[in-house]
Structure 1
Amino acid sequence: MSQAKNLYRVTFRHQDQIWEVYARAISHGGLLGFIEVEKLVFGERSSIIADPGEEKLKSEFENVERTYIPVHAVVRIDEVSKMSTPRISAGGESGKVLPFPVFTPAGKS
């Protein structure tokens, strides 16, 4: 498990979008095929202008203590020294980020 002082930026695909969240702890978790993300961090509202992407993420994860993200949806995980604004961006099939292909042995589905 990660130490509380660490800060991670987790970028992952959600439907046809790329979501970026910040968390204090990540691990391979207890569920096979999932990354466990906990202690989500959101910026303090210090200005009148609110970022709609960040507000949507705050709303989505409002009462979530821990979330599990499928490994195949994770684009990257970075340990960072400071936080930027969490965001949601377009990431459809025409976007620059494509899902990692999942291969199955020949003849099996």
Structure 2
Amino acid sequence: MSKTLYKVTFLNAGKVYELYARQVASGALWGFTEIRELVFDLGDGVVIDPTEERLRDEFGNTRALHLPIQSIVRIEEVERKSQSAIRDAATGEKVVTPFPMPAKPPR
């Protein structure tokens, strides 16, 4: 039997974050939703997703995330994890940090 998996979509600093977690509950703090056991890709492959890496850097050591109810856009119970994302709240486009390019192209 697999554990329940939730996709949590919430607003943070003008961006829409999509994270995956194993536990979602009404928190002990009034007006907050408690998100626990965040799920990230293991990253054992050759290709590394920069968005997933950024989310892991920001939330990797988080035991519990307490989100204000008004910042939550949606909580979905899903069967499997897909790609986590950070999107611009106004346009909905993914916010991706581009790979640094050299100042001059090599000759």
Normalised by the length of structure 2, the TM-score is: 0.79
Within the candidate set 9, 12, 22, 1:11 is matched to 9
Describe how 1:22-33 pairs up with structure 2 within 5 A. 22-33=20-31
Aligned to 1:35: 33
Q: Which amino acid aligns with 1:69?
A: L
Q: Could you list the runs of 4 or more consecutive aligned residues of structure 1 that deviate by over 3 angstroms after TM superposition?
A: none
1:63 and 2:64 correspond: no
Matched residues in 2 for 1:60 and 1:68: separation?
14
- Note the C-alpha offset of 1:32: 0.7
Aligned to 2:72: 74
Aligned to 1:21: 19
Count of residue pairs brought into register by the alignment: 91
Structure 2, gaps ≥5 residues long: 93-107
Aligned to 1:53: 51
SS at match of 2:81: coil
Matched residues in 1 for 2:51 and 2:89: separation?
14
Q: Which amino acid aligns with 1:78?
A: E
Superposed CA deviations along residues 63-108 of structure 1, whole A, max 9, x for unmatched, are: 111110110000000000000011111113xx36xxxxxxxxxxxx
Larger radius of gyration: 2
Q: Which amino acid aligns with 1:34?
A: F
Normalised by the length of structure 1, the TM-score is: 0.78
Structure 1, gaps ≥5 residues long: 97-109
- Note the C-alpha offset of 1:46: 3.6
Aligned to 2:84: 86
Q: Which amino acid aligns with 1:17?
A: K
